[in-house]
A and B are shown apart, each in its own frame.
Chain A
Amino acid sequence: MNEQHSGGEARRNRRSRDKQAVVPEAEFDSYYGRPVIKPPVWKVPDVPAYLYLGGTAGVSSLMGEFAALTGRPRLRRVGRLAGSVGSLASVGALIHDLGRPERFLNMLRVFKPTSPLSVGTWILSPFSAMASATAVSEVTGLLPTLARISGATAGVLGPAMVTYTAVLLSDTAVPAWHEGYRKLPFVFAGSALTSGAAVAMVAVPTHEAAPARRLAAGGAGLEIAAATLLEKRIGLPGQAYHRGRAGKLMRIARACTVAGGLAAPFAGRSRVLSVLAGLSLTAGAVVTRFGVFEAGMASARDPQYTVVPQRERLAERAAAEG
């Protein structure tokens, strides 16, 4: 080791006190402890809210259409309205982050397969349009046949709404997001299933909400499992998910999700329990997005998450080449 790193020392000391450390002390050099990559400039709460709203809208729309098919009018209505409101709010959050509405339109001037944000914009825009048309028909009762078509289209786009945001985050040099690209879509899928179901559990009478309760329990299980893998199986950057502010958020999210997920199967008997479970799951899903976002920010700010895994990769390659 050279001796010029000033910022590195304090960090190393802090780490050595951390009894939770899964990976042994990492030795690394950095330029005055400064980050190697630039942390995202995306605003909070705009972007975490965008992630939550998009996911919730996607699952709600899909649920609404299945409810339409299986004759559950209240669930259908809530699903369609939540799909529309959620996606429009999500567009609003994106525009607020960009600064000006015409900047959102600017995104539609090209379609670029290498840019998850471009692909995402082309998923979000038709989804919002279709979901909103369906919701208008649902409220006014006009053009029900067209609403079936637009609703089905939104339903098909719904799952894409849920998971493209994971690619959006992963396709960056941010270690906690990039290294987690195999897990993040499942965290978001689980989280969106619980949050979409949670809206229905809060707003739909219990006798129609059985599918939502099943989804809530299953989604919570998926979210917890995928988030655990994200923390434990992506090497050093996984630490960003259980340290500091991000760690606190992820623990709160897990507690809320577990509580809601366990209560969901029993919530059919009590409207009150259903609402409480729904609120708990919503909190879990919202906080999960903030936690994932914050973990990425933390991993971008600390050069060890960039340098150490890259050094290890080089060492492995050198060893393989002999």
Chain B
Amino acid sequence: MTDGHSKEAGRTRTDGTYTSYERLAGPLDDPAGEAGYDGQHPPRMGFFTDTSVCIGCKACEVACKEWNGVPGDVLDMTGMSYDNTTELGANSWRHVAFIEQTVPIQEDVDILGSLSAANNSGDEAGSPTPASRTPEETAGTRGSDLGMPGVGPPVTPGAQGALQDDREVRWLMSSDVCKHCTHAACLDVCPTGSLFRTEYGTVVVQEDICNGCGYCIPACPYGVIDQRPDDGRAFKCTLCYDRMGDGLEPACAKACPTNSIQYGPLDELRERAAERVEKLQERGITEARLYGHEPTDGVGGDGAFFLLLDEPEVYGLPPDPVVTTRDLPSMWRYAGAAAVGTMAAVAAAFVGGRR
């Protein structure tokens, strides 16, 4: 199943030697090669979104709309913190989530620059959710000045009228995007071949072929792709396929002022992400974790993966997504059994009583 993740291993195996498990859900070294590109195709490209440095400026959302000519939506005030985009969809290919949390007051940890006075008082790998800890446990192990207005440190006890003395508000901000899965359910279920795998290993919709059947929409385990209602066709992030060919980085990454959105060969990004998460852990931010980077997860690893500071579902991400086609062989077996049963039942009804 997993004979190394080296590119060579993948490229030498474009002759149909993958197992059906690898084809449908398992680790796949070279999705572009598996899709039929020859050995000369470029390396797999992707996004690493480091949410620990996202400042929620939404430059990515705007740059994406500008470059790709994505229609604007009517602006609604949702009451969901600073989030008026609400979700990824046909007209939002990047979406910045704002999670407001009330957490115990934290000693300031320098999340961006050099290590500050973050004295980690003990190993807390086993308790990831903030509310489950006492302030004593948490102080000095979490938190960060993320640069947002409002209730930044220093917080003097009692200064925040509505809050309890030992608690403060923190924001988690995260720019979400299409995951460009190694095994993309949207692509697998598309009946027209409108969705295709690019030579960069990414997943793109051909707008002129999409026939609006909408099958890709509930198939996506991340809830990314959606229908443009006035149009009927499905749209999503292309990872700026048109820019990649010219060696440009995607518009969102280009516009990101804090380098929260990083673009590059996926192998490099995975290494960089591993270093980053290790560094944050060392600084006492024990809840830092990577999401979507494992080739052994249910979608064979994501082409766009994330560094998160809380559980995935807090950000609206599924904790353990699985490409829907993983179970397809089994589904057809059950459907086949039911079909044979139907045939047998009708035959029996006629042959049974001779009337």
Interface residues of A (CB under 8 A from B): 1-4, 28-32, 34-42, 58-59, 62-63, 66-67, 69-70, 97-99, 103, 106-107, 109-110, 112, 114-118, 121, 158-160, 162-164, 166-167, 170-174, 178, 181-182, 185-186, 188-189, 192-193, 210-212, 214-215, 218-219, 222, 296, 300, 303, 306-307, 310-311, 313-314
Contacts and interface: CB of A to CB of B under 8 A. Distances in A.
A171 B226 CA distance: 17
Nearest to A111: B191
**Among B102, B192, B221, residue most surrounded by chain A Cβ atoms (within 10 Å):** B192
A174 B345 contact: no
Interface string B106-149: 00000000000000000000000111100000000000000000
A159 B225 CA distance: 33
Contacts of A215: 345-346, 349
A117 B213 contact: yes
Which of B131, B185, B224, B338 is packed against the most chain A CB atoms within 10 Å?
Answer: B338
Interface in B211-246: 211-215, 217-227, 232
B355 to A, nearest CB: 5
Given A115-B188, A116-B331, 20 more contacts: A2-B101, A2-B130, A2-B314, A4-B314, A31-B314, A32-B83, A32-B316, A59-B342, A118-B191, A121-B191, A159-B342, A163-B336, A167-B331, A172-B215, A173-B321, A173-B322, A181-B327, A182-B334, A215-B349, A314-B319
Contacts of B339: 159-160, 162-163, 185, 189
Most buried by B among A35, A97, A159, A222: A159
Interface of B: 24, 80, 83, 86-87, 89, 97, 99-102, 129-132, 185, 188-193, 209, 211-215, 217-227, 232, 310-311, 313-322, 324-325, 327-328, 330-332, 334-343, 345-350, 352-353, 355
7 contacts: A2-B130, A38-B226, A63-B346, A117-B213, A166-B338, A173-B221, A310-B320
Given A38-B218, A186-B338, A311 B319 contact: yes
B164 to A, nearest CB: 11
B21 to A, nearest CB: 14
Q: Which of A31, A159, A310 has the most CB of B within 10 A?
A: A31
B218 A300 contact: yes
